[in-house]
């Protein structure tokens, strides 16, 4: 058995390294430096700081903050140490444990990935659902205002008085059905060709010009508004942001990047447009929106016919885009809304009387001037 090993000794005072012969003894290491000096290191006083991985230099330290160090290139040294002094060697890495460590690493990896997926799919949404009801409305309003700051530039807003009045009247009709709501609703019209609408926490709703122009009658816009109002009332967007932020915080905690922690709130606000509600939330807002329309005396078929427009639009897109956008969701939602509309008794709906063909073009007309 080889008991003597060549290595290097560093005294912690100078950067000069000295050659050394290290002898493994029962109670400690005997180090003979090339200049003849003799050092005895009892095993109990030695700390191993490197050499736990294959191919890594073994580094042994002894002493306080600026310890002396002994460097040995060959990891057989450790295996021999465990044979020479098995009772005192538990403070040193044992290369014989490596296969077991590798197995443990693989298990840890698989468990981590499964745990992360479970956390993402179930844990975080459950947490967000539990916390959302306790978020004060004032906080929601702050959050919503932050989102609006990020997303709606003042110069891109349509503030035509006729359009403004039309939308405010429809919103007033709808919100009259929820007199006890704590929210003050604010609808923004953004001059952007996207066919989209979204709800931010605290009563903020954004309608894009593209969507306005895609509607054929005021009842269709009323349908979209009722749907978005329900997202606000049911705090879906608050929950979505909470979910996104807590995912970010967890990820940064697990992956060790804690510095970016504070920025997640702002980042979430910016990406609200990219976040998607779950199917459950969408159908909840659909159903409650339809009820709201009925209660407000607005023809609920508007929302259904608007979804049909959306479906027809996506049907016309070629190839890949068609695959992405013609997902079965829209079809399902139309079917569900139709059966809901059939089941409920429609109170006498009064048609909304606006010069719709002109109203819906106001935003575009004003922007070209």
Partner 1 sequence: MAMELLTESSGVLQSAESRRFAFHGVGGTLFGIQIVNLFLSIVTLGIFSFWGRVKVRKYMMSQTEFEGDRFAYHGNGQELLIGWLKALVFVGVPLLILTFLSAGALAYLAVLAFMPIAVVSARRYRLSRSSWRNIRFSFRGRVWDFALLSVKGWFLSAVTFGIAYPVWQNWRQSYLVSHSHFGNQKFDYDGRGSELIWNFLLHLLLTIPALGINWFWYWARLQRYYWNHTRFGAARFSSQVSGGGLFGLMFVNLLLLLVTLGLAWSWVQVRNARYYLEHLTLDGALDVAAIMQDAQTASATGEALSGFFDLDFDLG
Closest CA to 7 of 317, 184, 29, 28: 29
- Beta carbon nearer to partner 1, 27 or 105: 105
DSSP letter, residue 25: -
CB of 67 to partner 1, least distance (A): 7
* Cα–Cα distance measured from residue 257 to residue 68, given in angstroms and rounded to the nearest whole number: 33
Please state the closest distance from residue 143 (CB atom) to partner 1, in A.
9
Nearer to partner 1, 146 or 190 (CB): 146
Count of C-beta atoms within a 10 Å radius of residue 135: 17
The residue among 119 and 206 lying less far from partner 1, judged by its C-beta, is: 119
Nearest approach, Cβ of 136 to partner 1 (angstroms)?
12
Would you say 212 and 164 are in contact if contact means Cβ atoms under 8 Å apart? no
Phi, psi of 356 (to 5 degrees): -60, -40
Taking the complex as a whole, the smallest distance from the CB of residue 267 to partner 1 amounts, in Å, to: 12
Residue 69 or 290 with smaller CB distance to partner 1: 69
- Chain contacts with partner 1 (rule: CB under 8 A): 8, 10-17, 49-50, 53-57, 59, 65-69, 71, 102, 104-105, 108-109, 111-112, 115-116, 119, 142, 145-146, 250, 253-256, 258-259, 261-262, 265-266
DSSP conformation class of 147: H
Query: Closest distance between partner 1 and the C-beta of residue 309, in Å?
Result: 37
> Could you say which DSSP state residue 347 is in?
P
For partner 1, the closer CB: 241 or 303: 241
Q: How far apart are CA 322 and CA 324, in angstroms?
A: 5
- Find the shortest distance in angstroms from Cβ 254 to partner 1: 5
Beta carbons of 49 and 70 less than 8 angstroms apart: no
Measured from the CB atom, the residue of 51 and 223 that comes closer to partner 1 is 51
Q: Which of 33, 65, 29 is nearest to 46 (CA)?
A: 29
């Amino acid at each position: 058995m080889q008991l003597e090993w060549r290595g290097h000794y560093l005294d912690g005072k100078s950067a000069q390294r000295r050659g050394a012969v290290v002898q493994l003894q029962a109670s400690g290491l005997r180090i003979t430096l090339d200049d003849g000096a003799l050092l005895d290191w009892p095993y109990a006083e030695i700390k191993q700081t490197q050499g736990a991985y294959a191919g890594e230099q073994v580094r042994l330290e002894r002493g306080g903050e600026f310890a002396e160090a002994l460097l040995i290139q060959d990891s057989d040294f450790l295996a021999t140490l465990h044979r020479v002094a098995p009772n005192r060697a538990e403070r040193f890495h044992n290369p014989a444990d490596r296969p077991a460590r590798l197995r443990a690493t693989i298990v840890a990896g698989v468990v981590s990935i499964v745990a992360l997926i479970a956390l993402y799919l179930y844990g975080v949404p459950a947490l967000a659902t539990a916390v959302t009801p306790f978020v004060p409305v004032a906080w929601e309003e702050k959050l919503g205002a932050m989102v609006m700051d990020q997303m709606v530039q003042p110069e891109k807003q349509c503030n035509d008085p006729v359009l403004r009045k039309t939308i405010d009247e429809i919103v007033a009709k709808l919100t009259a059905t929820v007199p006890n709501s704590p929210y003050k609703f604010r609808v923004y019209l953004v001059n952007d060709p996207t066919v989209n609408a979204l709800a931010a926490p605290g009563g903020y709703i954004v309608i894009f010009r593209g969507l306005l122009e895609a509607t054929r009658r005021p009842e269709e816009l009323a349908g979209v508004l009722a749907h978005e109002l329900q997202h606000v009332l049911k705090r879906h967007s608050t929950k979505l942001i909470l979910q996104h932020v807590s995912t970010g915080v967890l990820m940064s905690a697990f992956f060790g990047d804690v510095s970016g922690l504070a920025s997640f709130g702002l980042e979430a606000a910016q990406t609200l447009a990219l976040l998607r509600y779950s199917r459950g939330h969408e159908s909840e807002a659909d159903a409650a929106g339809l009820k709201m329309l009925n209660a407000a005396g607005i023809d609920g078929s508007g929302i259904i016919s608007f979804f049909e427009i959306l479906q027809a639009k996506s049907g016309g897109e070629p190839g890949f885009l068609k695959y992405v956008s013609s997902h079965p969701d829209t079809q399902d939602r139309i079917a569900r809304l139709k059966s809901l509309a059939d089941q409920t008794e429609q109170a006498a709906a009064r048609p909304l009387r606006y010069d719709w063909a002109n109203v819906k073009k106001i935003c575009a007309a004003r922007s070209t001037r």
